[in-house]
Amino acid sequence: MKKSYKLENLDCANCAAKIEDAIKKIDGIKSASVSFFAQKIEIEFDRDETTLVAEIKKIISKIEPDCELL
C-alpha cells in the first residue's frame, strides 16, 4: 500500500533526510520519501498501518521534536 502524509513544522532539510533514512529501516517499509519543500512524506508498506504510523511518529519526534505527522 502507498500512502502520503503531511508533515508540520519540519524545519530542516538535513532532518528530513535523517527521518527518511530512519523510516526506510523500519520492517515492512518498501520505500519512503520525505520532501522538505513539500512538507510531505510518502511511504509504501506491507504491514499494519496503525502500528507503522506509531513507529514513524516516534522517529520523527526523536529527530525533529517540533515536527508532527498529520
Alpha helices, H only, 1-70: 13-24, 49-63
- The CATH code of the domain that includes 31 is 3.30.70.100
Q: What is the structure's pLDDT at 55?
A: 95
The values of phi and psi at residue 48, to 5°, are -60, 125
Q: What is the structure's pLDDT at 18?
A: 96
Range of the domain at 54: 2-69
Give CA–CA dist 16/36, Å, rounded.
6
Say which residue the cell 511518529 belongs to. 57
Give CA–CA dist 12/28, Å, rounded.
26
Question: Which of 18, 5, 4, 3 is CA-nearest to residue 65?
Answer: 18
Total number of domains constituting the chain: 1
Per-residue pLDDT 10s for the chain (70 aa) are 999 999 999 998 999 999 999 999 999 999 999 999 999 999 999 989 999 999 999 999 999 999 999 9
